[in-house]
Amino acid sequence: MSLPDRFVLGPLPTPLVPAPRLASVLGLDELLIKRDDLTGFSFGGNKVRKLEFLIADARARDADTILVMGGPKSNLCRTTAEAARVAGLACELILYGDRPSVPPFNLLLAETANATCRFTGSDDRGSVDGFAERRAGELTEAGRKVYLIPRGGATAVGAVGYHLAAREVVGQLGALGFDSATVLVGVGSGGTLGGLASGVSELDAPLELVGASVSRDPDAAAAQVVSIAEQCSELLGASRPAVDVKMIDARGPGYGKPWDKAQAALESARTTEGLVLDPIYTAKTAAVLVELAAAGLRGPVVFWHTGGMVTAIDAIGREGDA
Ligand SMILES: Cc1ncc(COP(=O)(O)O)c(C=O)c1O
């Protein structure tokens, strides 16, 4: 298997730590937290592992400008702005909607990282796709070499970071004396879980992968995870992965909308472990953890903390506007 280039951003590996007090409140025998909120580059959470390979790919292709798309609160867009800057690349963000009157911290950070932010003027999340294609055409015509990062950074290259994270967590579980576990991961674009599924399949590791889909219908999210896992394994020259992922609906009232079960799970994690969760991804994933435990799951469970720290602080500082 040949690995693509990596542009090192974060001090990996991240820790895998037991959470005994939260486990006891939930009725789990063993709960471990994979601390990808600590990936160590600009509060980037799970985006850091993806961007290490996406930025390296952009550089290998001699790109001078990164075009990345998402929403005004996008963790990916803001972290890409920071990563592009340290790599010496220009960065443009294509964001759906209009610039909010109270800009979320992710947007403020992107702007202060010198990224140009363009808004599609439509609240449709898909509006960024065509807009970004057109903008890439304009930039190319003007002589720029553009590298396009789709929503969520969900490409085979981005998923390589999580293919490697699968190896990381299997080693850490082994060192702690666990030979099997259920691994719960929040799913948006599917790149994180897709990469993990590719890695777990290659290792033939006895891990049960469970996704908590926060934005898409669970069947669509599962299909996306399988597709990314297959593309990632193909890119790495590994055999076609046997992807077996259970996907649970974690949208609550809808993507980005507050959910009382998520809020309760967020408070429980903070009270018992001092673990800060964000309302859009990790708290909704924690709500699924609560459901699984109530349905009889005992563990060992790995809760993959994917970050979202800037949004977490937004939510606390600007109650009701998260
Ligand atoms: C904090 C956080 N957790 C989870 C996810 C979901 O990751 P993915 O888009 O790779 O499914 C995202 C990104 O969209 C995120 O920002």
Residue 143 CA, ligand 1 centroid: distance in Å: 33
| Span 287-314, pLDDT tens digits | 999 999 999 999 999 999 999 999 999 9
CA distance 83 to 39: 13
Q: Which residues pair with 16 in a beta bridge?
A: 34
How far does the centroid of ligand 1 lie from the alpha carbon of residue 311, in Å?
12
Sign of CA dihedral 164, 12, 50, 165: positive
Q: Is the CB of 306 under 6 A from ligand 1?
A: yes
In this predicted structure, the answer to whether residue 320 has a pLDDT above a threshold of 60 is no
Given this chain, do its domains 16-45+155-317 and 63-144 carry the same CATH topology?
yes
- By three-state DSSP, how is residue 69 classified? strand
Q: Which of 51, 306, 309, 313 to mutate to test the pocket of ligand 1 (most atoms within 8 A of CB)?
A: 306
Interatomic CA distance for residues 285 and 155, integer angstroms? 22
pLDDT value at residue 319: 55
Whether the CB of 195 sits within 6 Å of ligand 1: no
- Check: CB of residue 34 under 8 Å from CB of residue 305: yes
Residue type, 92: E
pLDDT of residue 2: 84
Q: What is the CATH number of domain 63-144?
A: 3.40.50.1100
Res 321: pLDDT: 45
Residues with Cβ within 8 Å of 52's Cβ and at least 6 positions away in sequence, in order, are 6, 7, 8, 9, 10, 161
- Flag whether pLDDT at 76 surpasses 60: yes
Distances (CA, A) of 166 to 30, 64, 84, 250: 19, 31, 26, 23
- Mean pLDDT, rounded, of the chain: 96
- Using CA positions, which residue lies closest to atom 3 of ligand 1? 306
Tell me the domain boundaries of the chain: 16-45+155-317, 63-144
CA distance linking residue 194 with residue 153, whole number of Å: 12
Cβ–ligand 1 distance for 194 under 6 Å, the answer: no
- Residue 190, ligand 1, Cβ within 6 A: yes
Q: What is the pLDDT of residues 163-175, one digit of tens each?
A: 999 999 999 999 9
Q: What is the mean pLDDT of residues 29-55?
A: 98
Is any ligand 1 atom within 6 A of the Cβ of residue 191? yes
pLDDT (tens digit per residue) in 2-41? 899 999 999 999 999 999 999 999 999 999 999 999 999 9
Q: 16-45+155-317 in CATH: which number?
A: 3.40.50.1100
Residue 322 has a pLDDT of: 39
Express each pLDDT in 119-152 by its tens digit: 999 999 999 999 999 999 999 999 999 999 999 9
